[in-house]
Chain A
Amino acid sequence: MADAPSTQAVAAARPSLGVVAGETMRRLLLRPEATSVAALVILFCVFSYLSPELFPAKLTYISITSFAAELGIVSIGVTMLMIGGHFDLSVGAVLGLTSYFATVLMRDAGWPPIFAAPAAVLVGAGLGAINGALVVAFRIHSFVVTLGTMLIWRGVVIALTGGFPITVDIPSVFRDVMSGTLIFGFRMSVVWFFAIGAAGTLLLGRTRVGNWIQARGQNEQAARNLGVPVNRVTIFLFMLTSALAAMAGVIQVARFASVDALRGQDMELQAVAVTVIGGTLLSGGYGSVIGTVLGAITFGMIQVGLVLAHAPGHYFRTLTGFIVVAAVILNTSVARRMARSRPLAGFRRGNVETDAALAGEALADNEAGQPTADAARGSP
């Protein structure tokens, strides 16, 4: 770095701080989570203004996260399925049926929860496999298939319960582990929620199956031609989605110590709303589990915030509706925005240098020759 030309080259290759900040911002705005982060921040400000005493309080956060956790776990499955290009309207009914199954195993068969809970999740995976197999075998749109299975399984739950709530004694250890208020008053279900969110993020972004899921959602034919086992990926996704719905069902059984005929009803559409607020494209191929986690918290915030602001109950649906529509509008333009959006000046070369600049590392010390040539060519 002693001689003048090399120093110059480094200066040319390394963008100014403002450009780095701008480029970081541009990349963040193109992330699928941008929608839900914006929704969260805006709603937090609005609700804090409307009820300054009550909203920014710990108890509020506990309520929001408890609500978000159960819906969120269901939504994480729905999100991955939607990224893979499918819908599942049956998650609410699966949640109800598997909750019933877990309750009966514990109450009538005398199974301890440690066996009954995994059994319920396995049954959930099995129900999902039926959805997946129907979609793959008959090439019917998953929307219709799962509409059918939703009605079937809801009917089965109503028939089995006779329409009455069924209660069961839950050992306190099980209740505490699944849904107890153990961590500074926050429920354990929040821990499960975040753990599943982290696992889902890793699965989607850091594994082969994750790459296949995204490819399936973007261009099924291309994925198939390149040897991706598209049918197996589809069935796996449906199993995962229903298993997560069953997991949420088990958490609810532990919390309520009961199950009723309408358990999980409406959750299928709420999960789609959460997924969309979280930035996942309805058309599939692109989305984020972290976005869905934030979307579920947004959903909880609307629910709790409106109560604290003394708004009438129906406001919840209306406000949620507005946010969903706004999110869809933002999300559908994501591919367009990506195509239009260009890196800022100084970021037009290979990603190695760009990433180094974003990480704040000095450039081109070791390979002075190569980047110098690139910089000379690249700078307009």
Chain B
Amino acid sequence: MTDASPAALPSGSGSREHHMPRRKIDPIPAGAVPVMEAVNISKAFGATTALVDVSLRAYAGRVLALLGDNGAGKSTLIKILCGVFPPDRGELRFQGEPVRFTNPAQARGLGIATVFQDLAVCELLSVTRNVVLGREPQKGFGPFKWLDIKRADEMARSALLKLGVRWERGLDERGVNISGGERQSLAIARAMFFGSSLLVLDEPTSALAVRQAGKVLDHILQARDSGQAVILITHNFRHALSVADDLTVLAQGKVAAHFRRDEIDLDELTDLVARIA
């Protein structure tokens, strides 16, 4: 690596630009309403302050990368965005309207889909059952409703197809038998298929091999192109720079910096994070 950047950074999308120079992006259209906006969010757990006055905006068709060290407050922020717990102070706005979630189901109802770090795959359920979990298609009448297994299979197949995943193995394959990359594909396919407006991904590439990570990044671009707002939480600067339109750096529970992708390259980002962390 003749690269000036720290060699410790794993390079996820190897075939992309080496130095990750500034990339031209379209500006945010004037008057666009963010799909999700957090305004001056604060959160403390007992004596520990997790977030102080954090604000961010996620727009349709754009990828917002959320960077920061362990303990910077990324996970807390994500959990607030998807309704796991409410903020102590501050406001969430969804499509411009103030919202207050008391549980994740409400956030999901609005089309906020989250792909969590723990992969959210049930190991002994089939691929189909994992994809439709929580939204199983039913048939029948009155109180007698059965799983529509044929339709569930169709849903799973078209979800994976929509994502461009060629699923070589059966849809009856159980969760234990599919790889980490396939699990992420499955989770993203699930989020995209059910027509979400905001896709939140918590460290989707951290447990993956290089090629699989590249695939997941492609999926993120696909979700963006299909008009979803995407928030990507990651440790990996290269992954962030290769797909993000906007970048927010969190440090000690505060927004330490915010950039558009055309304002920063890999070296600058690395320097900056080294300075503030």
Contact = CB atoms under 8 A, between A and B. Distances in A.
A207 B147 contact: yes
A332 interface: no
Interface string B224-241: 000000000000000000
B125 interface: yes
Nearest to A219: B122
B120 A222 contact: yes
A218 B124 contact: yes
A208 B116 contact: no
Contact of A335 (B135, B147, B176): B176
24 contacts: A202-B146, A206-B149, A211-B125, A211-B129, A212-B133, A214-B124, A214-B125, A215-B122, A215-B133, A218-B122, A222-B119, A223-B122, A224-B104, A225-B82, A225-B114, A226-B134, A226-B190, A227-B104, A227-B134, A286-B124, A349-B168, A349-B169, A350-B170, A351-B172
Interface of A is mostly: helix
B151 interface: no
Contacts of A226: 108, 120, 133-134, 190
B129 A338 contact: no
A32 to B, nearest CB: 10
A264 interface: no
B194 to A, nearest CB: 10
Given A207-B147, A227-B104, A351-B172, A335 B123 contact: yes
A207 B143 CA distance: 11
B265 interface: no
A239 B105 CA distance: 24
A183 interface: no
A269 to B, nearest CB: 25
B138 interface: yes
A207 B123 CA distance: 19
Interface residues of A, number: 30
B177 interface: yes
Given A227-B104, A338-B176, A208 B145 contact: yes
Interface string B208-247: 0000000000000000000000000000000000000000
A218 B147 contact: no
> Quick one: which of A207, A226, A351 has the most chain B CB within 10 A?
A226
A255 B167 CA distance: 56
Contacts of A214: 122, 124-125, 129
B147 A206 contact: yes
Contacts of B91: none
> Quick one: which of B119, B124, B125, B167 has the most chain A CB within 10 A?
B124
A354 interface: yes
A339 B176 contact: yes
B136 A211 contact: yes
B23 interface: no
Contacts of B118: 219, 221-222
Interface residues of B, number: 37
A222 B122 contact: yes
Contacts of B123: 218-219, 285, 335
Nearest to B170: A351
Nearest to A222: B120
A317 interface: no
B22 to A, nearest CB: 36
Interface string B135-174: 1101000000111010000000000000000011111101
Contact of A227 (B129, B135, B169): B135
Contacts of A208: 136, 138, 145, 147
B121 interface: yes
Contact of B125 (A218, A221, A351): A218
A34 B55 CA distance: 56
B178 to A, nearest CB: 10
Nearest to A221: B118
A86 to B, nearest CB: 16
Given A211-B125, A335-B176, A354 B170 contact: yes
A95 interface: no
Interface string A328-370: 0000000100110000000011110010000000000000000
Contact of B124 (A206, A285, A349): A285
B146 A207 contact: yes
Nearest to B84: A225
Interface in A76-90: none
A240 interface: no
Contact of B116 (A215, A225, A229, A335): A225
A69 interface: no
